[in-house]
């Protein structure tokens, strides 16, 4: 079915996006989608050797990663610069990142979608405001959403302005040191030794969410890779080409997987039309149930073992959700921001965003998510 849609030419990306997004009848997810976690591989998939000495085992461990020699890294024929690393995290570390995304990173001064129509006081600690509601949530029962469940995005470092589609030197707050360290190790392992984590966009998805077709092109230096880390339920990810009409390749992204877009693929169109249950069919994937080894949280790292109470809340959230962290370098060495009158402050009005869920589909019928183009 998906293959037939591709042959029809004319904005094949949009057609496939709509196919995978639709509810009734649901799309066929049983074939034609690259799954890097399965032994049976698509002929486009290439095993990509990494330089195992690019980062030391100790550096990898400090970032919560297995030694590089154990990573399973792939590329794709015809997608130069695209890399896929199948869950290289050490036990317990996926939990750590999921908790950071839910408890720590949404805090001020970071910016989130709720700031656009709520006061600073109301969005000061989404975790505290949501934890009890989430803890008491009965799976499957329709209940009011907690603020954490209404969270769609958080920006870090240089805060991406969704209205102007730009970053500004005037709107920068310290990038989280733990996430910078993880990103810099992953980038180095993939051959980008000088990568600097300067901006992050965290995307929060539920089973009815999608992310429209877009290119990440707002960074001033697009020669640096874009790193993308995913936790929780799985996603169907569509990777197109430089032109909007180029037919995309569908692939699954599972919990712990890392996608790197660099080189020519850095400016390829992509989208997330659908969030799907994890392939194990469990409430949450087993890789998220692992706890951290004692020596991973010793004094040489600033990381703390998740406490069980917090994890209970994260689990409730992740049963229906997926979290994605994208990390970018904005300016290259010797580069500066173009002179502009842009202040970079969050605008009071609702900016155009490519995040959407079923309720918003109804609310913003005319916004046609699937035709959204530019984004970071
Ligand atoms: C993803 O959620 O995997 C993709 C995020 C993005 O394209 O910004």
Report yes or no: 92 and 117 within 8 Å, Cβ to Cβ.
no
- Is the minimum distance from the CB of 210 to ligand 1 under 6 angstroms? no
In angstroms and rounded to an integer, the radius of gyration of the C-alpha atoms of the chain is 20
Q: Is the pLDDT of residue 348 over 50?
A: no
Read off the pLDDT of each residue in 213-220 and give the average, rounded to a whole number: 93
Q: Is 36 in the pocket of ligand 1 (CB under 6 A)?
A: no
**Atom number, ligand 1, closest to the C-alpha of residue 205:** 2
User: What tens digit of pLDDT does each residue of 141-180 get?
Assistant: 888 999 999 999 999 999 999 999 999 999 999 999 999 9
- Tell how far the Cα of 326 is from the centroid of ligand 1, in angstroms: 7
Percent with pLDDT over 70 in the chain: 84
pTM for this model (two decimals): 0.89
Q: What is the pLDDT of residue 272?
A: 98
- How far apart, in whole angstroms, are the C-alpha atoms of residue 158 and residue 151? 19
Angle at 152 between CA 321 and CA 165, to 5 degrees: 140
Residues of the chain with pLDDT > 90, as a percent, come to: 74
Supply 175's token pair: 């990038």
pLDDT digits (tens, 9 = 90+) for 300-342: 444 454 477 899 999 999 999 999 999 999 999 888 888 765 4
Q: What is the pLDDT of residues 75-114, one digit of tens each?
A: 999 999 999 999 999 999 999 999 999 999 999 999 999 9
- Ligand 1: centre distance to CA 300 (Å): 32
Cα(359) to ligand 1 centroid in Å equals 20
- Residues 242-270 have pLDDT tens digits of 998 899 999 999 999 999 999 999 999 99
Give how far Cα 273 sits from Cα of 14, 164, 235, 236, Å.
10, 24, 8, 6
Q: What is the CA(295)–ligand 1 centre distance, in A?
A: 32
Higher pLDDT, 52 or 305: 52
In the predicted model, what is the mean pLDDT of the chain?
87
Distance (Å) from CA 244 to ligand 1 centroid: 17
Residue 355 has a pLDDT of 72
User: If you take atom 8 of ligand 1, which residue's CA is the nearest one?
Assistant: 326
CB 158 within 8 A of CB 330: yes
Q: What is the mean pLDDT of residues 363-367?
A: 32
- Answer for the pair 76, 262: CB distance below 8 angstroms, yes or no: no
- Cβ of 211 below 6 Å from ligand 1: yes
Q: Is the CB of 272 under 6 A from ligand 1?
A: yes
When pLDDT is cut at 50, 70 and 90, the band that residue 345 belongs to is very low
Q: What is the pLDDT of residues 178-193, one digit of tens each?
A: 999 999 999 999 999 9
pLDDT given at position 249: 96
Pick from 4-8, 65-69, 364-368: least confident: 364-368
Write out pLDDT tens, residues 258-311.
999 999 999 999 999 999 999 999 999 999 988 887 665 544 444 454 477 899
């Amino acid at each position: 079915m998906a293959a037939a849609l591709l042959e029809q030419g004319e904005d094949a990306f949009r057609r496939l996006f709509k196919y995978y997004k639709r509810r009734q009848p649901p799309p066929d997810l049983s074939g034609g989608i690259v799954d890097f976690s399965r032994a049976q591989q698509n002929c486009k998939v290439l095993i990509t050797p990494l330089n195992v000495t690019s980062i030391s085992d100790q550096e990898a461990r400090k970032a919560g990663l297995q030694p590089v020699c154990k990573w399973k890294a792939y590329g794709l024929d015809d997608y130069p610069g695209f890399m896929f690393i199948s869950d290289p995290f050490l036990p317990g570390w996926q939990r750590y990142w999921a908790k950071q995304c839910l408890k720590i990173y949404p805090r001020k001064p970071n910016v989130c979608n709720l700031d656009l129509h709520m006061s600073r006081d109301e969005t000061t600690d989404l975790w505290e405001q949501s934890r009890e509601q989430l803890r008491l949530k009965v799976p499957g029962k329709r209940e009011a959403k907690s603020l954490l469940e209404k969270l769609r995005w958080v920006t870090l470092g240089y805060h991406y302005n969704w209205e102007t589609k730009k970053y500004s030197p005037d709107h920068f707050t310290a990038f989280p040191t733990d996430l910078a360290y993880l990103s810099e190790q992953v980038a180095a392992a993939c051959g980008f030794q000088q990568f600097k984590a300067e901006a992050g966009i965290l995307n929060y998805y539920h089973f009815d969410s999608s992310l429209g077709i877009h290119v990440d092109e707002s960074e001033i230096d697009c020669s640096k890779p874009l790193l993308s880390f995913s936790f929780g339920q799985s996603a169907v990810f569509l990777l197109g080409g430089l032109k909007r009409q180029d037919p995309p390749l569908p692939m699954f992204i599972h919990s712990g997987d890392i996608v790197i877009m660099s080189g020519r693929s850095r400016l390829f169109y992509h989208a997330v039309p659908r969030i799907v249950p994890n392939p194990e069919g469990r409430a949450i994937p087993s890789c998220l149930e692992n706890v951290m080894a004692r020596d991973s949280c010793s004094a040489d790292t600033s990381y703390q073992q998740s406490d069980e109470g917090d994890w209970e809340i994260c689990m409730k959230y992740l049963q229906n959700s997926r979290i994605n962290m994208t990390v970018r370098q904005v300016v290259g060495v010797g580069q500066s921001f173009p002179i502009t009158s842009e202040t970079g402050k969050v605008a009071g009005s609702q900016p155009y965003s490519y995040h959407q869920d079923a309720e918003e589909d109804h609310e913003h019928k005319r916004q046609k998510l699937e035709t959204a183009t530019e984004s970071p």
